[in-house]
Structure 1
Amino acid sequence: MLARRGHYVCVLDGPRLTRDDREAEAIRRTNALARIGVRNTLLAGLSPESQAVMSARLPKGRTVEIRRNQLATIAAANGKRDAATLRWGSDRIGLGVLRAMYARQMIEFGDEVSHVQPVLSRSGHVVVCEAGEPLSEVIAANYAFALGAGLHIIDETDEVESQELLEAYYNIDTPGVIASVERNRIKSRLRELVGVVDLPEGGSLTFITRHLPFGAAFPERPSTHLFTYPDLGIAIVNGFAAEQEGRRGTNIAVLVDPEKVRAPEIEAATKLLPQRRVFVRGYRGAGASVRAISEMVDLFPYDLLIFATHCGDAPGWRWTYEFRDSEGLHRRLVVDVAIGVGHTDDEEMLRVMQFFRFHSLDGVNWNDPVAKTGLYVGTAIRDWAEFEKADALEPVHKEEIGRVMGSAVMKMWDHNYLPMPRALAAEGSPIIINNACVSWHELAGRFLFSNARAYIGTLFSVSDMEAEAVVVRLLDKYFGKPLPYALWAAQNSVYGAGGNRRPYVITGVYPQRLRVTREDVPARILSELSRGQNYWRERANSRRAHDSRSAKVLDEMATFYERETASFQARWFASKSLGKASTDR
């Protein structure tokens, strides 16, 4: 009803209020709406609680609850009664929505059989969306419409097979595996899962997928990826918002090199980015400690972040818990645990980040969807989380294991960094380039959930020469091109067009770029640091009386900003002239 050519209709799911971070769920949505400059918000189909939470946070007078009996009036006001109503079935609804948008029709869902034929592209771009999340199909249709794209809906991929294919990429460099043969096998299977796709000459692709890097199987076209769940709508908003007229560019870059691997790409970026008038801050060697990087990733205001280190699943422990849940049932929960460790101001205190992966519940493998169909979960997981949060439950058994799947830690100078950011870049929406080996599988989802607007990672290991060659092309020859195209062209140049060794995969909306805009960067950074200092100190003071643990965390955030503000003022405002892009080492 609201579709306009060349415009994106922003659709978000409601906040998941059963999560522990329910407040953050609402904040992430209002932040996304603010980024894209939304003037009016329509609330439709939300629970009364979600309705109340969102209404309380949105501007009064610009938030409207939409009921079914209002739809005809809205459609008429937007000129969408020119053609007969399109009747559609209850599946592949994204195809129906996009057809209706292109035809300026209303759509009504009923018992009809949905068409499976794709909607053809009008611009050369094609969107391929995996079924299984109906709202994601609607969002995919809106995304396709905004780009004049076609849309294919493919069958949902079996969960077990998805994990097997990702594991195959993860293990492609292990002894006994013929890497080129295995890459061809995976590529063939991915293409089978997608099926036949009409690829216009000179066209491009967006894959909206649950887990799989389908674009790696289509090297003949530039492609990008988005995840069907969670928060597909927010991810698209973050990407589109950054490319609107008048928005800042990627003016501030941070480079991270803990010197755990040879990183010539960092040296190249140190030279190339200032030539583009990008302000560069570097964390190298002992300066790239877990604490320094954890604080920077969350709190420093950057637009582009480049990592050069080793990434992989960490060793850890398998813990077994036995407890009685709130329904009175005896439960046996087995979880795998990995940790990241950082220093604090207290020499006798370390900050430990834990990663939990459920292994089994009551003897049933948690990662086997077939076995889980007969498992009664009830309140077991929620109760365990409450016990864990309150330190009220100890494991009855512990054993060491060689790998905690999905932990995806990154080696820093002192310890493993376990990326689980609360937010990124002082509530910003940056671009992340991660040259660490096998850094796409888990980290793409984590960084996008934390509001990265684009993430480039690897499916398997890359050499230092490859990393340098790809990064140099991204930051030099293809700077300013759409990022998916730039990455595709860079890999063509490094690996040869059509070759099967293409380790890099990008996630994020297609039309976004590395670009620079005129800005007094030091003044902007100082302003953001000062604002963060005041905000987090005020929040810490408000929590101190009733929640000392939370207040301590907020105090540490305020202290980071105080330290950075003083350092930045001394470095840039004491005696140096402003207005020039520089390297901050």
Structure 2
Amino acid sequence: MKFDPPEIVKKFVCIFNREEAALAALVFSYIDQSAGYIPTFEFPFVSSEDFKSDPDKEIRDEHQLSRSRARKFNVNVGNAIRRLGGCEYLIVAGLTDKQLSYLTFLNDYNTIYIDGKDNVDVFLNGIVPKKGCLPCKESKLIENLHYALNQNLYLSIDDEAESVSTSISNSSGLIVIEQNNKVSSVFGILYAHSIGAEVELINTEGLNHYQIKDLIENWKNNEPNSFNNLSAAIYPYIEHINFNEREFATFFTDGIPYSLILKNILPISHVHLRINPDLFVFNSIYYESYSETYSAIVFSPKAFDDEETEFVVERLVENHLLVKPLVDKEATYFNLDNHIQHYPYSLLHVCSHGGEVEGKRITEKFIDSTGDEHIVVYDEVFSFGLNPFQDSHAVATKRLPREFDGLSWGSTEFKGASFPNYIFSEMFQSLGDTENQIHSIKVNVPGSCHIKCVDSIYQAMFNYLAAAHSPIIFNNTCWSWSDIADSFIGVGARGYIGTLWNIDNTVATKSAKAFYNNIFEKTVLFSLHEALDVSKNTRDENIYIFWGLHFTSIVPCISQDASRLVVFMKLMDSIQSWKTKLEETIIPEHKKTITEIIDWLSRVIALDFKKEAIKYLYNK
């Protein structure tokens, strides 16, 4: 079974302050034409305006993390709009002056600036034909949006308005959205409308994803009543929803594995509300419709006597995907890291050990910029990979905070303390100073996740993905549903399959084979749903979770020669892009990094695409 993605509406692109959910609902009601998905992006909080720093160095202050996040947002959104070939109207709504200072492309388009809800009608009334108006209280804007979109009505704020019945007919798809009072929950409604799905809004204010992770771990450690506790924490929020006669459900969630609690009674996928959900939805639609690399990476250090690796390679080659096998001695940290970031691919399959690793639990003090002393408890995991070509070796140190001034990180008490944001920017910059460490002990680090390589462990701490493409990841290792999943999703993957606990190897192997038997005839979600039959009545029943959309798929190529040519041309495009960046870069450490990337890409072409390179140079 295959599904078509919605069309991308190129008339509008919207950028909202992520805190302005009600404003987003108003804007969508004015501009939607039921013609597809309107590209929408939510700008996160920034603590300072952008500025031109000294080109020879980066400024490290309490605003560094916020500034870096905002600059990445500018690049990602600018690239997304350019991929579409621009838009007729760029709507920028609710942004602060600080946020606006980071956007470098506003003058390239016909930009409409909307300061607040009072300006929406002034700028947008009549921009698309509407049947009429739906008055509602401001507190009901989001709740009434889906009905307004379906009836082609625009919303208006009237706090004297009577409640209206907004029921709509059942559809085959269901989108369940945790109301987080952010724009992401609103464009979840827009996405549902674009695919003709029904919407359920749920209030999960009492749910804590840190607690949910602990409950899952307790369950798999066979603690008494642990699954009942897990179900009791989640199920009350969704028990009113009728999932019967649905073809699929997608949950927009702050990290809750609903498929586990619902025992996969239907195909269930998830979209993470905390990890760039705007780019995730956009990439899922765009790369399903407009761009394909027809290539795959299969990674395995051959850690198991019986595994799916050879079967997966054969199945992909049969469908003319160009497969890059990183297997046995080739399954090194260096190879995995570079291929994940810089090789163009549609699919990455990982067969290895994973899960928690040993590290240190460190208690450390630091003094913030106001002179106050704080005590931080955090876990630290260290890994590195040898570079076989030069004396420049990748080192990765991951630090996971556990306590801050005696409060458990992420707890209700922690959130209630309302610490200033600058404290945590300063904290992360100061961690690791051995002079400030009070003591440390060795621990198995909860929530840590890795991929075992032949020479080290890989923690997926990277900045780029698939040569600026958006692949699908099947991480068939233990405990691969969070942390490492966050890395792939955060940098641009459009689909991710992971495991919720330590999976039995036989179940993992059989499940992967069942998945790939269907993947070219069905979508990723429906292929995974069938593969779940393998684990029924075992301890690993319902172990897999899919972050993605119901239509996401992997498509075959017409021939190996064609897929080779596609990958070669994308490698050449990538080299040219990096050469341009090298010419523009002044910071020495950046120039060094870019030079190493260009060298790696050049080696790949020389080793794997010699015939294509010769032909390219001959015809140039």
User: Shorter-normalised TM-score: what interval?
Assistant: 0.7 to 0.9
Whether 1:78 aligns to 2:128 is yes
Q: Which residue of 1 aligns with 2:253?
A: 209
Q: Which residue of 2 aligns with 1:418?
A: 459
Deviation by residue 1:88-141 (Cα, 9 ceiling, x = unmatched):
3426x4322111111211213465799799854543111111122331221111
Q: Distance in 1 between matches of 2:448 and 2:188?
A: 29
- Equivalences for 1:235-246 in 2 at 5 Å? 235-244=280-289
Whether 1:69 aligns to 2:119 is yes
Q: Which residue of 2 aligns with 1:169?
A: 216
In structure 2, do the counterparts of structure 1 residues 58 and 279 end up closer, same or farther at CA, with 3 Å as the change threshold?
farther
Q: Distance in 1 between matches of 2:427 and 2:404?
A: 11
- Equivalences for 1:562-573 in 2 at 5 Å? 562-570=602-610
- What code does the residue aligned with 2:360 have? W
Q: Which residue of 2 aligns with 1:141?
A: 189
- What code does the residue aligned with 1:559 have? D
Q: Which residue of 1 aligns with 2:16?
A: none
Q: Is the 8 A contact 1:456 1:506 kept in 2?
A: yes
Whether 1:199 aligns to 2:247 is no
Q: Which residue of 1 aligns with 2:279?
A: 234
The alignment partner of 1:523 has SS state of helix
- TM-score of the two chains, using structure 1 as the length reference: 0.87
Once the two structures are aligned, what percentage of the paired residues are identical?
20
Q: Which residue of 2 aligns with 1:24?
A: 72
In structure 2, do the counterparts of structure 1 residues 370 and 386 end up closer, same or farther at CA, with 3 Å as the change threshold?
closer
Q: Distance in 1 between matches of 2:407 and 2:279?
A: 34
Which segment is superposed worse, 422-431 or 483-492?
Answer: 483-492
In structure 2, do the counterparts of structure 1 residues 112 and 516 end up closer, same or farther at CA, with 3 Å as the change threshold?
farther
Q: Which residue of 1 aligns with 2:523?
A: 482
Which segment is superposed worse, 503-512 or 320-329?
Answer: 320-329
Q: Distance in 2 between matches of 1:278 and 1:514?
A: 10
In structure 2, do the counterparts of structure 1 residues 470 and 62 end up closer, same or farther at CA, with 3 Å as the change threshold?
farther
Q: Distance in 1 between matches of 2:67 and 2:102?
A: 14
Q: Distance in 1 between matches of 2:511 and 2:540?
A: 16
- Equivalences for 1:91-490 in 2 at 5 Å? 93-109=141-157, 111=159, 120=168, 122-160=170-208, 162-174=209-221, 176-177=222-223, 183=227, 186-187=230-231, 189-218=233-262, 219-244=264-289, 247-249=290-292, 251-262=294-305, 264-345=307-388, 350-374=393-417, 376-377=419-420, 379-387=422-430, 394-490=435-531
Q: CA deviation at 1:263?
A: 5.5
Q: Which residue of 1 aligns with 2:598?
A: 558
Deviation by residue 1:383-405 (Cα, 9 ceiling, x = unmatched):
233445xx877433241231223
In structure 2, do the counterparts of structure 1 residues 311 and 385 end up closer, same or farther at CA, with 3 Å as the change threshold?
same
The alignment partner of 1:264 has SS state of coil
Which segment is superposed worse, 422-431 or 17-26?
Answer: 17-26
The alignment partner of 2:455 has SS state of coil
Q: CA RMSD in A?
A: 3.1
Q: CA deviation at 1:32?
A: 3.1
Q: Which residue of 1 aligns with 2:37?
A: 8
Whether 1:525 aligns to 2:567 is yes
Q: Distance in 1 between matches of 2:162 and 2:331?
A: 54
The alignment partner of 2:440 has SS state of strand
Deviation by residue 1:514-552 (Cα, 9 ceiling, x = unmatched):
2124472222222222333333344345435xx322222
In structure 2, do the counterparts of structure 1 residues 451 and 288 end up closer, same or farther at CA, with 3 Å as the change threshold?
same
Q: Is the 8 A contact 2:308 2:512 kept in 1?
A: yes
Q: Distance in 2 between matches of 1:101 and 1:153?
A: 15
Q: Is the 8 A contact 2:355 2:502 kept in 1?
A: no
Q: CA deviation at 1:497?
A: 9.9
The alignment partner of 2:385 has SS state of strand
Q: CA deviation at 1:189?
A: 4.6
In structure 2, do the counterparts of structure 1 residues 539 and 84 end up closer, same or farther at CA, with 3 Å as the change threshold?
closer
Q: Distance in 2 between matches of 1:70 and 1:168?
A: 45
Whether 1:516 aligns to 2:534 is no
- TM-score of the two chains, using structure 2 as the length reference: 0.83
- What code does the residue aligned with 1:501 have? E
Aligned residues: 562
**Structure 1: gaps of 5 or more residues:** 576-585
The alignment partner of 1:12 has SS state of strand
Q: CA deviation at 1:317?
A: 1.6
Q: Is the 8 A contact 2:174 2:246 kept in 1?
A: no
**Structure 2: gaps of 5 or more residues:** 1-29, 47-65, 616-620
